[in-house]
Amino acid sequence: MKTTDRGILSNYDLKKPGNKIVYYLMTLIVLVMVCSMLYPMIIIFFNGVKLNTEVNSFPPTFLPSEWHFENYHKAWIYIKLPLFVRNTLYIFAGNMAMTILVVGFAAFSLSKMNVPYKKVIQYFFLLTLFIPPTTYIIPNFINLRDLGLMNTFWALWLPAGANAFYLLLLKSFFDGINIEMFESGRIDGASEPRLFFQIAFPLSIPIFATLAIFVFSTAWNDWYWPQLILSSDQRYPLATAIYKYVVNVRRLDLNLKFAILSMITFPPVLVFLFFQKYIVRGLHLGGVKG
Per-10-residue mean pLDDT of the chain, 290 residues long, equals 54 68 86 90 89 84 86 87 91 94 92 87 89 87 91 91 90 87 86 89 86 89 90 89 87 87 83 70 50
Residue 213, pLDDT score: 86
On whether both 96 and 208 belong to a single domain, the answer is yes
On whether both 243 and 204 belong to a single domain, the answer is yes
Residue 63, pLDDT score: 85
On whether both 70 and 194 belong to a single domain, the answer is no
Residue 186, pLDDT score: 87
Residue 33, pLDDT score: 93
On whether both 197 and 164 belong to a single domain, the answer is yes
On whether both 56 and 164 belong to a single domain, the answer is no
On whether both 34 and 143 belong to a single domain, the answer is no
On whether both 23 and 103 belong to a single domain, the answer is no
Instruction: Identify the domain boundary among 74, 89, 124.
Output: 74
Distance from C-alpha of 155 to C-alpha of 231, rounded to nearest angstrom: 12
Distance from C-alpha of 71 to C-alpha of 244, rounded to nearest angstrom: 20
On whether both 207 and 112 belong to a single domain, the answer is yes
Q: Is residue 1 part of a domain?
A: no
Distance from C-alpha of 93 to C-alpha of 178, rounded to nearest angstrom: 30
Give the CATH number of the domain where residue 156 resides. Answer: 1.10.3720.10
Q: Is residue 6 part of a domain?
A: no
Total-model pTM: 0.80
Residue 1, pLDDT score: 45
Q: Is residue 3 part of a domain?
A: no
SS (H, E, C) 203-226: HCHHHHHHHHHHHHHHHHHCCHHH
Instruction: Identify the domain boundary among 48, 74, 100.
Output: 74
Q: Is residue 2 part of a domain?
A: no
On whether both 193 and 107 belong to a single domain, the answer is yes
What H or E segment, with its residue span, contains residue 89?
Answer: helix 81-98
Residue 66, pLDDT score: 84
What is the number of residues in the chain? Answer: 290
Q: Is residue 4 part of a domain?
A: no
Number of domains forming the structure of the chain: 2
Distance from C-alpha of 216 to C-alpha of 239, rounded to nearest angstrom: 12
Q: Is residue 108 part of a domain?
A: yes
Distance from C-alpha of 174 to C-alpha of 111, rounded to nearest angstrom: 6
What range defines the domain where residue 40 resides?
11-74
On whether both 63 and 95 belong to a single domain, the answer is no
On whether both 42 and 89 belong to a single domain, the answer is no
Q: Is residue 232 part of a domain?
A: yes
